[in-house]
Amino acid sequence: MRVLVIGSGAREHALLLALASDPGVTELFCAPGNAGIAAVATVREVDASHGPAVVELAKEVGADLVVVGPEVPLVLGVADALRAAGIACFGPSADAARIEGSKAFAKDVMAAAGVRTAHSEIVDNPAKLDSALDRFGPNWVVKDDGLAAGKGVVVTTDRAAARDHAAELLENGHPVLLESFLDGPEVSLFCLVDGETVVPLLPAQDHKRVGDNDAGPNTGGMGAYTPLPWLPEGSVERIVDEVVAPVAAELVRRGSGFSGLLYAGLAIGKEGPAVVEFNCRFGDPETQAVLALLESPLGELLHATATGTLADQPALRWRDGAAVAVVIAAENYPGTPRTGDVISGSDAEGVLHAGTARRDDGAIVSAGGRVLSVIGTGADLLAARDEAYQRLAAIKLPGSHFRTDIGLAAVLGRITV
């Protein structure tokens, strides 16, 4: 099977490495890729958000399966264009991708499916902002109703900060979603979904804030770990039964059946799981940790999902132990990152590339905000953390920063449900 992966981040690098270990996958392509991905797949140029261009490339390389990594191409209908051309695609239709592309749509689906989530209100008129803010608090959750790459959310006890963020979004023409605050630790659960067939992967936890101890602004994700030693037994099954399966069934009922990876971001409180948000694709950086422990052939799983035969697949197999992913970010991220700095040590084992490029002289340089993900695995979370940070110590990137506490609260037993 020849597989084309669309995307250029560490998520796609992780997908490609897992696909490369599947004996059924004979050749790998990636577009547009990055400097590290070029070592595992043939890298091609493409406008990833333009359906006809992706279709043309898929035909040119003879792809038996196309895996769309990022959310923007999915929301813009790239999967639809591929399917219309008779090419198997792992990724939902534009209609189903609204579960991420429009938080208002996701709320409507959850309400119809009876899924617990935060109380919310859409504000699309600045004149109504202050009265709406008064109906929330003392913790304000302010979100961009559309796609924001994980950085359109402000959670704060400062009403003025909440108002400033909301006003900025409205000024830029973006409707604002105000939500009640959901208490409890967060969980990311990825599920392969083929209509009403739901197959969960290992649960993970992302670290969104830029600094240690969850300080600073939200980012696209600074690190993740799996599994979650503090998560009560049976929680994954409960999340599937109470959250993912009802949403998948509701999408089918609406004629928008989901095919691909449905990612439930949840808060686990005393009353059980409640949805923070849904995403329509593999999450970054959780994918890097989760796939490090997957033993089942990934190509076979993705192809089965894309072709409507997921229900026929055997139970997933996982390596024992734990995995940790730590993100190395460029100077000034999550603001405008500094780029063009030479990176040393980025070709080592366990290092996945995100914002990287190769200069004409062969040097690997930074080319984005989140530059690398460093992966560690071990018999338990402590051992996985140790390996990740040992590997990270050998990497040099001027001005870069990373969190030192990925998975630490779980190791120390500080997370409770």
What's the pLDDT band for 371 if we cut at 50, 70, 90? Answer: very high
From the candidate CATH numbers 2.30.40.10, 3.30.70.1150, 3.40.50.300, 3.30.1490.20, the one assigned to the domain spanning 120-179: 3.30.1490.20
Please state the rounded mean pLDDT for residues 62-90.
Answer: 98
CA dist., res. 98 & res. 75, Å (int): 7
Q: What is the pLDDT of residue 144?
A: 86
Note the pLDDT of residue 151: 54
The helix/strand/coil state of 313 is coil
Q: What is the pLDDT of residues 116-158, one digit of tens each?
A: 998 889 999 999 999 999 999 899 999 887 776 555 788 899 9
Q: How many CB atoms lie within 10 A of CB 276?
A: 19
Read off the pLDDT of residues 284-328 as tens digits, 9 standing for 90 and up. 999 999 999 999 999 999 999 999 999 999 999 999 999 999 999
Share above pLDDT 90 across residues of the chain, in percent, rounded to a whole number: 92
Q: Taking all residues of the chain, what is their mean pLDDT, rounded to a whole number?
A: 96
Tell me the backbone φ, ψ of residue 304, rounded to 5 degrees: -65, -40
Contact at 8 Å (CB) between 167 and 133? no
**pLDDT: which is higher, 50 or 152:** 50
**pLDDT category, 79, cuts 50, 70, 90?**
very high
Rounded Cα distance between 400 and 403, Å, is 11
Mean pLDDT within 110-118:
95
The single-letter DSSP state of residue 39 is G
Question: Structural domain boundaries of the chain?
Answer: 2-90, 120-179, 185-312, 322-411
Burial class (CB in 10 A: 0-12, 13-18, 19+), 53: middle
> What gap in Å lies between CA 183 and CA 1, rounded to an integer?
45
Pick among 3.10.620.30, 3.40.50.20, 3.40.50.261, 3.40.50.2300: CATH of 2-90: 3.40.50.20
pLDDT band at 112 (very low <50, low <70, confident <90, very high): very high
Cα–Cα distance between 84 and 152 in angstroms, integer?
33
Q: How far apart are CA 319 and CA 378, in angstroms?
A: 10
Q: Is the pLDDT of residue 382 over 70?
A: yes
Give yes or no on whether 2-90 and 185-312 have one common fold: no
Model pLDDT, residue 150: 53
Q: What pLDDT is stored for residue 148 in this prediction? A: 61
pLDDT, one tens digit per residue, over 217-234 is 999 999 999 999 999 999
Tokens of 400: 């870069």
Q: What is the mean pLDDT of residues 89-103?
A: 96
Instruction: State which CATH number among 3.30.565.10, 3.10.20.600, 3.90.600.10, 3.30.70.2860 fits the domain covering 322-411.
Output: 3.90.600.10
Q: How far is CA 294 from CA 65, 287, 403, in A?
A: 20, 10, 25
Nearest to 176 by CA among 222, 142, 140: 142
Once rounded to an integer, what is the mean pLDDT over residues 90-108?
A: 95
DSSP 203-250: -BEE--EEEGGGEEEE-S-SEEEES-TTSPTTHHHHHIIIIIHHHHHH
Is domain 185-312 annotated with CATH 3.30.470.20? yes
